[in-house]
Structure 1
Amino acid sequence: MPETPLTGGPALGVVGRGRLGAALLAACRADGTPVSLTASRGGGWQADAVPEVIVDASAPEAHDDVLGYCASHRVPLVACVSNLTDAQWTSLAELATVVPVVRATNLSFAHYLQLRIAEFTAALTRGPLGAAGTTVRERHPAGKAHRPSATALVLAETWTGASGRAVTDIADERAGLPVSEHELTHTWDGESLHVRHHVGSWAVPARGALTAARWARTAPPGLVTMRTVYDDLTARSTP
């Protein structure tokens, strides 16, 4: 593995050549972001220099190699693999004591807005005007690794944390076109409110991964989520 950083601008390492990894590489080519390292199950690790940030879009099987590389080279990590074991989540937290780690359950900015809307709704529905019931629905194409999705669980946890009321159901569906849908539904007597987020292209999470990588490049060590990234970036852009 290379021992010296690439100079002349931000450089990424992309681990994984699946749908997200391929979309991220395409996004890097489109906007001129250098990629100094790639790794995949079929191609192994290929590196010109140590990247400034690694985006892991691979699978749990590659987790130890990715964390070992980031720890030994002190490289920030954007971790996009959600179906990790408890031991692997613990290892991710340990890495965050020495480098910044973004735990990217969902990379989309609109998903961030959906979470903020859930919190806003929770604040306005306390007391006698409270929602009679809240549910989460998620849809992914057939072949999605696990169900319910990590994003659906985060939606449910966000609602419960903000409102003090658990969701009454999390429905998951495996059918249809890429990429995903996540919907939060609040039901009163005779009316309902649906907050739905639909992603139809892998270019969307790829843009989010680039945003997270640029943020992590100058962040201090610590384990954060995309919520922290977007909170920080929206705060900077607010007059």
Structure 2
Amino acid sequence: MPDTPASDGPTIGIVGLGRLGSALTTVCRADGTRVCLTATRSGGWSAEAVPDVLVDASAPEAHPDVLDYCATHRVALVACVSNLTDTQWKALEELAGTVPVVRATNLSFAHYLQARIAEFTAALTTGRFAAATTVRERHPLGKAHRPSATALALADTWAAASGRAVADIADERSGLPVSEHELTHTWDGESLHVRHHVGSWTVPARGALAAAGWARAASPGLVTMRTVYDDLTTRSTT
């Protein structure tokens, strides 16, 4: 890791060094971003300094310690752990009263585009042009939860934009890492498929680093990656 961190980047703490946490460590090293805190189940917490932003890539069991650290040290949080309990989500909302919190169901920029395309499609497929819409997700064998949090989020996005629930959510456990998520819109004799494929953990790791950079300068509050990418894309075009 470079001795001198990037001058315009945040200092990062990473909780959980599994696939996402390890990929984020590699991305930070390549980017010149200083990782000054790490925490794992087996090794505990190790900190050289208090980071600007904590990225939680661990598991629901670590949630109380993560929230306690962020509240005590007033550190922004990028929360990447899905399948939290209602009580844990409530605690995350309470933390957002004092520090910026990014709820990251999916960190990929292309997933953000997929959701925006779904909203655009919903606006045009009304009345005689209404379609039957389904969601399909694929993850490798061993994925713990089904359907995935991203598949459920896509279904919610479609329902909110169209006023119609998806007809089905299909889940598949096969193939290579990392994931595929697809929205299919079907009419009589034709269909439209919007598929997002991720083949490397580097992709969500880059998204986590982008979210951390955004959160460092944000005000307290709970936002999703939609807000982060809305803001970042607006800045890049102005």
Provide TM-score, normalisation by structure 2: 0.96
Q: Tell me the equivalent position of 1:127.
A: 127
Q: Equivalents in 2 of 1:83, 1:44: separation in Å?
A: 22
Q: Equivalents in 2 of 1:10, 1:203: separation in Å?
A: 18
Q: Please say if 1:77 is aligned against 2:58.
A: no
> Partner of 1:176: helix, strand, or coil?
coil
Q: Equivalents in 1 of 2:214, 2:43: separation in Å?
A: 28
Cα root mean square deviation, aligned: 1.3
CA positional deviation for 1:196? 0.1
Q: Tell me the equivalent position of 2:12.
A: 12
Q: Tell me the equivalent position of 1:178.
A: 177
Q: Would you identify which runs of 4 or more consecutive aligned residues in structure 1 move more than 2 Å? A: none
Q: Equivalents in 1 of 2:100, 2:127: separation in Å?
A: 40
Q: Equivalents in 2 of 1:167, 1:130: separation in Å?
A: 12
Output the amino acid matched with 1:164.
G
Output the amino acid matched with 1:77.
L
> Partner of 1:10: helix, strand, or coil?
coil
Q: Tell me the equivalent position of 2:67.
A: 67
Q: Equivalents in 2 of 1:82, 1:51: separation in Å?
A: 23
Listed as ranges, the matches of 1:17-36 within 5 Å are 17-36=17-36
Q: Equivalents in 1 of 2:129, 2:67: separation in Å?
A: 47
Q: Equivalents in 1 of 2:164, 2:187: separation in Å?
A: 14
User: For 1:111-155, what per-residue CA distance to the aligned partner results, in whole angstroms no more than 9, with x for missing partners?
Assistant: 000000000000111121111x10000001111121100000010
Output the amino acid matched with 2:212.
A
Q: Equivalents in 2 of 1:220, 1:145: separation in Å?
A: 34
CA positional deviation for 1:229? 0.1
What are structure 2's unaligned runs of at least 5 residues? none
Output the amino acid matched with 1:188.
W
Q: Equivalents in 2 of 1:42, 1:30: separation in Å?
A: 26
Q: Please say if 1:41 is aligned against 2:47.
A: no
Q: Equivalents in 1 of 2:48, 2:56: separation in Å?
A: 18
CA contact (8 A) 2:10 2:212 kept: no
User: For 1:88-107, what per-residue CA distance to the aligned partner results, in whole angstroms no more than 9, with x for missing partners?
Assistant: 00000000000000000000
Q: Equivalents in 2 of 1:100, 1:207: separation in Å?
A: 19
Q: Tell me the equivalent position of 1:110.
A: 110
Q: Equivalents in 2 of 1:222, 1:147: separation in Å?
A: 29
Q: Equivalents in 1 of 2:160, 2:87: separation in Å?
A: 25
Q: Tell me the equivalent position of 2:101.
A: 101
Q: Tell me the equivalent position of 1:3.
A: none
Provide TM-score, normalisation by structure 1: 0.95
Output the amino acid matched with 1:216.
A
Q: Tell me the equivalent position of 2:211.
A: 212
Q: Please say if 1:140 is aligned against 2:139.
A: yes
